[in-house]
Amino acid sequence: MTATLPTESTDAAQASTLRPAWVTDARVASWLRWVCTSAGAGTASRTALAPYDALPTIAVPDSTVEDVAAAVDAARHAQAAWSALPYSARAEVILRFHDLLVERQDEIMDLIQWEMGKARFHAWQEVLQVANLARHYARHGEAYLKPKKVRGAVPVVTSAKEVRVPKGVAGFISPWNYPLYMGVGDLIPAVLAGNAAVGKADPQAPLSMLWARALMAEAGMPEHVWGVVAGDGPSLGEALIDHVDYICFTGSTATGRIVAQRAARRLIGASLELGGKNPSIIRADADLDVAARGVVDASFANTGQMCIHLERIIVHTDVYDEFVVRLRAVTAAQTVGQTFDFSSQVGSLASAAQLEKVSRQVADAVAKGATVLAGGGPRPEVGPYVFAPTILEGVTDDMELCLGETFGPVISIYRATDDEDAIAQANRGKQGLSASIFSKDIAAAEAMAPRIRAGSVNINDGASLAAGSIEAGMGGMGESGLGKRHGSDGITRFTNAQTIVSSKVGPVGPPPGTPVEKFIAMANKQLVVLRRLRVR
């Protein structure tokens, strides 16, 4: 399925000409029905602009804060029956969703590109990641949640176990940069754990989430187990935190602080994946061709609009000049375009706001003395929000992009005298989400990795290996967030640990008729014996 780009300018009052042909009015209506809105609430709605032509997509009804409360209430009523199902029954729904997603992936790739502007390969990566997560948690989630037997208070006559129970209703505030992966990938383990969910669709890319919700319904998920609200971010986000039992947020560090503070007032748990200013270390022994490819892939993927993309490249001085030559060559070979096929490696930024931010940061750096080694500015001849893949040298602390997240196709490159210097540079700033090391000596790189403040460290890869290792937790240190997605943490975070203890003899204490002093003396002797026997 493809859409055709306009060959001439289009009047700004028109709707986007890129609407895929298969997106009929009937299909749109089938998605919009999943927006939680009050009956007769009026016609308030908002329409995003398609990045490829800066023209409106499709109007999506606005939810109100009252709609959020109603959606959570409906989810809470649905959660009881959903959690009562065997895990295998919930898993069957997710596996059917997996199959439908793989079968209809062209549809969601079209929508993601239309709403967000990324290259098609990076849209496909969202399909890949969500499919892998669906299979993984459907097959292994029950084992992650398996009751754990522990020793009772009194051997033989008492027993104890720890079980996992769902929190109730989990709330999700997901960003525009990965509307499928972030909108659905975290939700899958939450509902498999027995929770219901309410997700807030980002105003830039609501259709992708609504498409996924319709697909999940086709797979068999009951109507109110997953509710979707759409509209104003701050007001709906606050309302969601005020009603759910757990909040899962992905976004900026500044907003993450607000989410954490509001969740803390209600004493509910929160997982936060926030911003990063991610470094890559190129050691003196690195394969420079591998390093250049890896850096370019991780820096300009998703047009640089991903939390784990590389922004700071720290190169050993002995190989710096040669690495720069190769890095510029690989960067120059990237095809920048707006196509609904796989011919472009770098797509558009998502919005005028993103273009303004990236342009401002690069202009600030250049004005203060940074040197442009590649790119350096917008590409309006390609598209309204396109920015060229950019490499900067000579970035200093007084420049906004030095330690501030750019979230665009821009990297800065630095020299390091040795590994110690490289680690010190990598640990600058307060964020710690992702990092990478390129080296032929994997053992040496693995020894360096724990000294870098980052939730994930990729060796001889820029970012994707850690993100794709879904049995391992993924999250940040420092100001890059709290909690982990993926692995066991990715599902247990949506549960409460409950301890269940049993006694075969009733209450444990002095038997009837036995003096308390005698009971205590017997217990003290037991303590001495257990210590001598090294019993824990």
User: Which residues belong to the active site?
Assistant: 273, 307
Question: What is the Cα Rg of the chain in Å?
Answer: 26
| Contact (Cβ atoms closer than 8 angstroms) between residue 185 and residue 130 | yes
Alpha-carbon 473 to chain mean position: 12
Beta bridge partners of 109: none
* 116's tokens: 């967000």
**Which amino acid does the sequence have at 142?**
E
3-class secondary-structure state, position 96? helix
Q: How far is Cα 280 from Cα 289, in angstroms, rounded to an integer? A: 15
DSSP-based three-state secondary structure for 185: coil
Nearest to 91 by CA among 268, 276, 220, 214: 220
CA 390 to CA 412: how far, in whole Å? Answer: 8
Q: Which of 81, 71, 60, 33 is nearest to 221 (CA)?
A: 81
Q: What SS3 string covers 434-501?
A: EEEEECCCHHHHHHHHHHCCCCEEEECCCCHHHHHCCCCCECCEECCEECCECCCHHHHCCEEEEEEE
233-241 vs 253-266: helix crossing angle, rounded to 10: 30
Q: Which residues contact 261 (CB under 8 A, 6 or more apart)?
A: none
**What is the Cβ-side half-sphere exposure of residue 59, based on CA atoms within 13 angstroms?**
7
Residue ranges of E strands in 291-346: 310-316
Using an 8 Å Cβ cutoff, are 243 and 97 in contact? no
244 backbone dihedrals φ, ψ, rounded to 5°: -85, 175
3-state secondary structure of 128: helix
